[in-house]
Structure 1
Amino acid sequence: MANLDNHGIELAPSRGAGYDNDDFEKQHIVEDQEEKNLSRSLKQRHIQMIALAGAIGTGLFLSLGSALQTGGPLGALLGYALIGAVVCSVQFALGETSALFPVTGSFVRHAEFLFDPALGFAVGWNVVYGAYLSVPAEISAALVLIQFWTEKYAALWITIFIVLTFLVGIIFIGVYGEIEFWLAILKIMLIVGIILMGLIIDLGGVPGQGRIGFRYWNHPGPFSQYLEIPGAWGRFLGFWAVMNNAVYSFSGIESLSVAAAETQNPRQNIPRACKRVFARVTLFYILAVLIVGMIVSSTDDDLNNYSGNASQSPFVLAATRAGIKAVPSIINAVVLTSAWSAGNQSMLAGTRILYGLALKGQAPRFLLLTTRWGIPWVCVIAQTLVACLAYMSLSNNALTVFYWFLDLTASAVLISWSAIAWNHIRLHQALKRQGIVREELPWHHWWTPYTSWFALVSCIIFLLTGGFTVFIKGNWDKATFISAYLDIPLVLTAYFGWKFLKKTRILSLDDVPLRAALDEIVSKPEEEVPKARGWRRLNILWG
């Protein structure tokens, strides 16, 4: 007879003290609860474009000017390129692990299978906290973008965005996928457009303006002197500051597989998305950074505009000087959809990871209640209520407090990436211990055991140096120190607190349920995803 709780929800076995590996081997990797109550409605094109939408955000459109000013054209380019390499490593690690364990909650649940349930608890609640605060933050950002056109009816605009975000979160998951698909198309069209525009401006294609070429790489030079620190050290610190900031431009790419249990053929589609999305995102970022460094000087005073809307974009700056008047409104409109998209994705990440925590007894069981369409409606309502914090943006003092809370999760991205890399490292250590060749994995590459170590070490270094500016003489800032480092002890406290409370233990590599996962692939085979044929092979976005 099934073991039910007071809500009539079937209880999944928890892994704590007294855990017997033989009992766990009999359990499904993908829980029956997920199979029965969630709907596999996200298609290949949805999952790939959701990943694109998550990674291409307001940072690409609005923050490149700050990167250019901080590191110079070459410093910014190298910073984004190196972070791109880290993101590639994280993406491949996530793809390999998710193909073997396609569960709701992604890397949060992977930590339980591969290392320690306490790690899943700590990282999971850290992601949930960040995702819950990200929704009102994105709504507040959307309000700033709307104020580019009008400052009237602020409360009404906030209400509209809260309602829209709730509707996207509560309706059939396929509707969410379709909305994010088209929002991602808009972003890509804008990126391609502004890159082409920047290239035309640089090559002298605008009447009345000469060719710019690489003029600004020669003067003021390829690197900036960070904080006016002289010599090579100042130039290196500028490059390093760009790299730390670039991390947050790529944030969101780790949420690609949080809805694995709602994805069609996840063992095939999630790895494909990880592989393809990285290349496209990196290409867009690298080209955008390169073009910005060619058309705007790193010492341009107009880069000091921190309005939060399209007027601070270096592309807008270049277009305005070239007499292209429509660009500011177009960029602002697409960035507005980007803010809404980011809020939608935070809603998805927060609700699905919270659902995954509840599935393993690390959150209240009533959070497992779902609609007939497979939506965890209690999780959605809870996150919508938190989204009402966006009304704090109507008061300057309240907004300051709100962003202080948001700053507490500034390093959460690096913690999540570190967890993904560590999960993957443990996966390969367990393969070696149990004598299983990596060719048995549904998706694998020979280099990933090495690139995951590269990603883990890099993320730890970035995490520890995220607030390095406060240690420079005369540059101490309490808010920067808190945002850079407070999340680290919070996650450690959550980890050791849950470990002490539940008496969890670190899994022996012999106990990692690899064979159970591989057997489940055989017992529950996926339909073969057909290869693109004819004109569809020309589709470079999601084909």
Structure 2
Amino acid sequence: MSVSDSPVKGPDVSLYPYSPGEDAPLPKDGDRTARIVDDEEAQNLSRGLQERHTQMIAIAGAIGTGLFLGLGSSLQTGGPLGALLGYALVGLVVCAIQIALGEVSALMPVTGSFVRHVEILVDPALGFAIGWNVVYGCFMSVPSEIAAAVVLIQYWTDLNAAIWVTILIVISAVVALLFIRVYGELEFGFAILKILLIIGIILMGLVIDLGGVSGTPRLGFHYWKDPGPMVEYIASGSWGRFLGFWAVMTNAVYSFSGVESLTMAAAEMQNPRQNIPRACKRVFVRVTVFYFIAVLIVGMLVPSNDPRLGNESGTASQSPFVIAAADAGIKVVPSIINAVVLSSAWSSSNQSILAGTRTLYGLALKGHAPKLFLRTTKNGVPYMCALLQIAVSCLAYLTCSNGAYTVFNWLLDLTSAGVLFSWGTIALNHIRLIQAFKAQGVSPRELPWHNTWSIYSSFFALFMCVLILFTGGFTVFTTGNWSASSFISSYLDIPLVLVFYLGWKFFKKTKTVSLYEVPIQQALHEAREDVENVPVKKSKWSRLNILWG
């Protein structure tokens, strides 16, 4: 391998072109701007997340209110079969996204994950646009989740909402500013609670369905026959049933959102090049199985035409599992589900803080945000990023005013398409990486983790993300269903990202990164030189551990 005599700058400026099959020049020692994993994050951030934290963080992020409370809406819209097919299709997209994220992140385990990857592999301007879109979405999600938590708490008490908002903001601030290991342990505990609840309600659902509760008949697949497996939505006939199935997509995407946050704090993980692929593989299987069984059971327990499915209280009373338990005379279930959903809301808030602060830190590393946000505590926490996030969290006090809360929800809805932008970016990054390997004559097998078929699954995921992004708000274009607020929440994020992208491109005169300029050799060099990059030792316990082993 030949090493250039002159230093080569990293992805913000072009590497010197070379012919396919020729090794890319490596930078001189000490040229920190050429490194993929920046010295700033390598030295100032603390690797406090272990393998079990990594895997359970992703599970905690993907299992939340969308599963516990949102299945009822999907069942009402698509019917038991329509909901099952909708979640299965989005589950395939999530599988492709997880594989793509794992392959790229194992090679480049950087803070900010796919936001940093896109500027290395596609265009710095796109990294700026997607990065600030993620930051905005995460920053707005924290007060939203706090507001949701307050609604859940008021299921038990009528105490002034401002008191609970204050308590939750203070607790979130403490977690955000403490050592990353504290966050990891909290999410580990939340994930265990969620998994135990899912297993419990699935078993409860099976007992109810099979007539195991005294005084309740055996249901079987009765509701698949009456009122039927699919629901006519907006239109009639087969077209109406298809629209019902397609309308489930948005709910399914929301339910799975959070899996992309797995690698946001990659620079704070122990042995990320080994643990990230392991987490991506295991998390997808566990989450998909949980969702698939849960959707199937719900369709067997509650008819799609049950009016209670339209309840939008935001508490456990709108859960189809609670509806089924109430019909079976099981009274303790609502409080249990409400308590775990409350932990889910707080968990989602913590994850948004982690993703938002680490993305902002990554933007500051590349000059896309003020250097002020690079300041860290002695424990390696980017405290300036956390303080800004905490300040924005005070928007949760708007819940105390109905009019202000409406405005707040409108602002939050602007980022409803953000998860599809994130997933599409992950797929695009992977496609570009594999194409760069081929253009430079390097075998993709050199990657720390690679699957030969993953390039095709990434194209499928990218296509589906774009399709759902543009058709997710289709109902507003049907006769009699026009809603300005629904149109804005579904589509305004698209021009916002375009404005960010074109504005930064014009201001900084950035260029699309050529496939020959992607710093593959530098990334492979760092992977080979990483002293942590060794296979994870398996214990006898890990073989029995079905959650994170």
* Residues 414 and 25 of structure 1: CA distance in aligned 2, closer, same or farther (over 3 Å): farther
Q: Deviations over 1:234-257 (max 9, x none)?
A: 000000000222111111111110
Query: 2:89 matched to which residue of 1?
Result: 82
Counterpart CA distance in 2 for 1:217 and 1:366 is 58
Counterpart CA distance in 1 for 2:508 and 2:13 is 7
Aligned residue identity for 1:345: Q
Deviates more, 1:515-524 or 1:205-214: 515-524
Query: 2:499 matched to which residue of 1?
Result: 493
Aligned residue identity for 1:192: I
Query: 2:470 matched to which residue of 1?
Result: 464
Query: 1:152 matched to which residue of 2?
Result: 159
Counterpart CA distance in 2 for 1:501 and 1:28 is 25
Q: Deviations over 1:110-147 (max 9, x none)?
A: 01111111111000000000000000000000000001
Query: 1:408 matched to which residue of 2?
Result: 414
Aligned residue identity for 2:425: A
Query: 2:5 matched to which residue of 1?
Result: none
Query: 2:171 matched to which residue of 1?
Result: 164
Q: Deviations over 1:157-216 (max 9, x none)?
A: 101110111111110000100010001100000000000000000000001111000000
Conserved in 1, the CA contact under 8 Å of 2:357 and 2:386? Answer: yes
* Residues 210 and 291 of structure 1: CA distance in aligned 2, closer, same or farther (over 3 Å): same
Which residue, 473, 478, 482 being the options, matches 2:479?
Answer: 473
Query: 2:20 matched to which residue of 1?
Result: none
The structural deviation recorded for 1:23 is: 8.8
* Residues 371 and 184 of structure 1: CA distance in aligned 2, closer, same or farther (over 3 Å): same
Query: 1:191 matched to which residue of 2?
Result: 198
Which residue, 337, 343, 355 being the options, matches 1:337?
Answer: 343
Query: 2:451 matched to which residue of 1?
Result: 445
Which residue, 61, 64, 67 being the options, matches 2:71?
Answer: 64
Conserved in 1, the CA contact under 8 Å of 2:9 and 2:15? Answer: no
Is 1:38 the equivalent of 2:40?
A: no
Query: 1:219 matched to which residue of 2?
Result: 226
* Residues 482 and 23 of structure 1: CA distance in aligned 2, closer, same or farther (over 3 Å): farther
- Name the SS of the counterpart of 1:226 in structure 2: coil
The structural deviation recorded for 1:25 is: 4.2
- Name the SS of the counterpart of 2:397 in structure 1: helix
Conserved in 2, the CA contact under 8 Å of 1:17 and 1:503? Answer: no
Query: 1:254 matched to which residue of 2?
Result: 260
Counterpart CA distance in 1 for 2:15 and 2:453 is 34
The structural deviation recorded for 1:522 is: 1.5
Deviates more, 1:259-268 or 1:27-36: 27-36
The structural deviation recorded for 1:534 is: 2.0
Counterpart CA distance in 2 for 1:67 and 1:517 is 43
Is 1:276 the equivalent of 2:276?
A: no
Which residue, 354, 357, 371 being the options, matches 1:348?
Answer: 354
Correspondences of 1:266-415 after superposition (within 5 Å): 266-415=272-421
Which residue, 113, 121, 129 being the options, matches 2:128?
Answer: 121
Which residue, 240, 247, 262 being the options, matches 1:241?
Answer: 247
Q: Deviations over 1:474-499 (max 9, x none)?
A: 11011110011100011011111111
Query: 2:31 matched to which residue of 1?
Result: none
- Name the SS of the counterpart of 1:338 in structure 2: helix
Counterpart CA distance in 2 for 1:15 and 1:514 is 11
The structural deviation recorded for 1:405 is: 0.4
Is 1:204 the equivalent of 2:232?
A: no
Conserved in 1, the CA contact under 8 Å of 2:10 and 2:35? Answer: no
Aligned residue identity for 2:85: L
Q: Deviations over 1:438-458 (max 9, x none)?
A: 111000001100000000000
* Residues 402 and 24 of structure 1: CA distance in aligned 2, closer, same or farther (over 3 Å): farther
Aligned residue identity for 2:36: I
Which residue, 171, 180, 197 being the options, matches 1:173?
Answer: 180
Conserved in 2, the CA contact under 8 Å of 1:79 and 1:240? Answer: yes
Is 1:137 the equivalent of 2:144?
A: yes
Taking only the aligned residue pairs, the percentage that are identical comes to: 65
Counterpart CA distance in 1 for 2:506 and 2:268 is 33
Which residue, 432, 440, 446 being the options, matches 2:438?
Answer: 432
Aligned residue pairs: how many?
531
Aligned residue identity for 2:491: Y
Which residue, 170, 176, 182 being the options, matches 2:189?
Answer: 182
The gaps in structure 1 that reach 5 residues or longer are 1-11
Aligned residue identity for 2:352: S
Conserved in 2, the CA contact under 8 Å of 1:183 and 1:341? Answer: yes
Is 1:48 the equivalent of 2:61?
A: no
Conserved in 2, the CA contact under 8 Å of 1:44 and 1:269? Answer: yes
The gaps in structure 2 that reach 5 residues or longer are 1-7, 18-23, 29-33
Query: 2:508 matched to which residue of 1?
Result: 502
